[in-house]
A = this chain, B = another copy of it.
Amino acid sequence: MKTELNYKEFLEKLLRCANEEEISELVEDIHPADILDILHQNEDDFFKILDLLPEWFLADIVEEEDDEEKYELLKRFSEGKQKNILHEMSSDELTDLVGVLDEEESNDVLEKMDKEDRDDVNKLLSYKPDTAGGIMATEFVSIRENKTIEKTLKYLQKEGPEAETAYYLYVVDNDDILKGVVSLRDIVCNDFNTKISDITNTNVISVPYYMDQEEVAQEFKKYGFLTIPVVDEKNKILGIVTVDDIVDVMEEETTEDIHRLGGVDEEERVDGTLKESIKSRLPWLIVNLVTAILAASVVGIFEGTISKVVTLATFMPIVAGMGGNAGTQSLTIVVRGIALGELTGENAKRVFLKELLVGLTTGIAIGFIIAVLGFIWEGNVIFGIVIGVAMILNMMVATMAGYIVPVILKKLKIDPALASAVFVTTVTDVLGFFFFLGLATAFINYLI
């Protein structure tokens, strides 16, 4: 089990070390992510401690830092150290680092890389960040099928350390066209004289460079792989995506969905600044204000009716609100179903019918309860019927809207989580008020 080291203990241990070798031994025993945690416990001494750490260890620390903070951290080192750190970092890490910088900063970083890294990063930057190309690394091991396991092992002993991950070896031809895959496990579990072609799996699953990262995550989930190769239109291998990147992608994508459903910007963080929060939320609040005024103006039309039967004002938020709740439920299931790939062309019709029936059934249940309560409150059976029917109608519309709105947004290639909630609650507010107050106006003679 991991022992939680605190800043003080670590500093004491560090200062007790006599020479660089002892320091190396100390930090080797702790994961860089944990060292970074320790450093962040005391920001004042952050760089003083960092200067004590061995140079070979610095790239690991920089890689663990948040993308937004990496450049700040990097700049604090001498130019020579910066170059060494950049040299140690993998191409996808470098691309993430450069991706968040402005032009001047990114030029500065690119200049400090060696040519090979710079070319790789410039190529990777040309792919859209949310696609397979945008998240892949160019460090992979490719081998030829006519070699034996022993020869391949010798080659790996020479080349391996350069590769970000060598758990799968990709078999390619002279033009780098992907022919198959060999797992490192197959290599170590077979006799040294076995030929690579005998253990090659020619059924290699790859993704095109333009595939959306969310779809790439679905591929990982389906097949349970550790890495997936990324290819171009001619099936030439361009790079690999590793499962630890996918863990980040999944977290990013679900945070995006949850935030959008909640009506906040996908970038907002709980520990962000006041300004960021206001920038993230105020635009949506203004959109909501417009829709709330739209719904209120429906009420405005019926002010004459309300002035005759004031209890309508008491009950009307119940009809609108319950529609909103039913719509949000339906919306939640449909948006998540789309994200998980569980809502397909095949079952779309059945799901729509189910949502309609859920609206009808729960509408009848809730409508019945509120009709009885309305009857008791107002002592008027027509009042009970009016609110009961309005409730059934609004809850049916709500579940249908909860289905239709995200499906339409999806068809328009807009993220279904985005703006769905606003549309659905506008529909349920406007129609909730309209059904209830409209019916009440039609039957006003029986209500007074």
Contacts and interface: CB of A to CB of B under 8 A. Distances in A.
A191 B357 CA distance: 68
A30 B369 CA distance: 55
A299 interface: yes
Interface stretch (A75-83, A116-124, A315-323): A315-323
A334 B282 CA distance: 17
B261 A262 contact: yes
A427 interface: no
A203 B285 contact: no
Nearest to A270: B337
B268 A333 contact: yes
Interface size class of A (residues with CB under 8 A): 35 or more
Contacts of A165: 185
A222 B258 contact: no
Most buried by B among A206, A250, A325, A350: A325
A206 B295 CA distance: 55
A264 interface: yes
A44 interface: no
A300 interface: yes
B310 A270 contact: no
A224 interface: yes
Given A31-B203, A313-B306, A351 B188 contact: no
Contacts of A271: 337, 342-343, 347, 350-351
Contacts of A268: 333
Contact of A188 (B156, B286, B373): B156
A289 B370 contact: yes
A211 to B, nearest CB: 9
Contact of A184 (B167, B191, B203, B286): B167
Interface string A246-276: 1110110011011101111000111111100
A154 to B, nearest CB: 10
Nearest to A271: B347
B303 A310 contact: yes
17 contacts: A29-B202, A33-B223, A184-B184, A221-B247, A254-B258, A255-B340, A259-B333, A269-B337, A270-B338, A270-B347, A286-B366, A286-B369, A295-B318, A299-B317, A303-B311, A303-B313, A312-B313
Interface of A: 1-2, 28-31, 33, 153, 156-157, 160-161, 165-167, 184-185, 187-191, 202-203, 205-208, 217, 220-226, 231, 235, 243-244, 246-248, 250-251, 254-255, 257-259, 261-264, 268-274, 277-278, 281-282, 284-286, 288-289, 292-293, 295-297, 299-300, 303, 306-307, 310-318, 320-322, 325-326, 328-329, 331-338, 340, 342-343, 347, 350-351, 354-355, 357-358, 361-362, 365-366, 369-370, 373, 429, 433
5 closest A-B pairs by CB: A262-B332, A270-B337, A160-B189, A313-B313, A224-B244
